[in-house]
Structure 1
């Protein structure tokens, strides 16, 4: 695209060309993956916490029930992070003991 075409399209500057090392790209991918995983986990914790808060108030004393649920979820997650339990094991236990099958856990 020449200068006259850029003016006509009201493009002020060319996009600069940037050189990036492969190690920088790998680091950025790793950081983005970690951030995405944390965001996904927080979302998957926030949704059930809101359900407990909004729909199941009569099951537990209101004060502290959501905090207790979140704390218990974090304990379970730490067990997973530290390698004490695997996702396939959790899926098997939920299916056998609670009759709950979560789609996508294969």
Structure 2
């Protein structure tokens, strides 16, 4: 795009060219992935918390039930983050002990 076309379109300046090292790109990818994972986990924690709050009040004492649920989920998540348990192991435990089968990607 030449200068005349940029003026016609109302563009005052060219977009600057930026050089980025490959290591910076990898770091940005890791940060974005970590942020996305945390956001997804918070969303997946918020949804069941609301279900418990709205629908299953008769199953637990009302006072503090959502906070207890969130704290228990966070405790499990910390165990996962620190490498004490993996997703496959959790799925096997749920199937063996609770009869709940988690299907990955189906």
* CA displacement 1:57-87 (0-9 Å, x = unmatched): 1111111000000111111112222222211
Uncovered stretches (5+) of structure 1, i.e. residues with no partner: none
SS in 2 for 1:52: helix
* CA displacement 1:28-73 (0-9 Å, x = unmatched): 1121111111111111111111111111111111110000001111
Shift, 1:105, TM fit? 6.3
Q: Which has the larger displacement, 65-74 or 7-16? A: 7-16
TM-score, scaled relative to structure 1: 0.88
Q: Distance in 2 between matches of 1:45 and 1:83?
A: 20
Aligned: 1:97 with 2:97: yes
Q: Distance in 2 between matches of 1:105 and 1:79?
A: 23
Uncovered stretches (5+) of structure 2, i.e. residues with no partner: none
| Matched ranges for 1:42-53 at <5 A | 42-53=42-53
- Residue 6 of structure 1 is matched in structure 2 by 6
RMSD between aligned residues: 1.7
TM-score, scaled relative to structure 2: 0.88
Displacement over 3 Å in runs of 4+: none
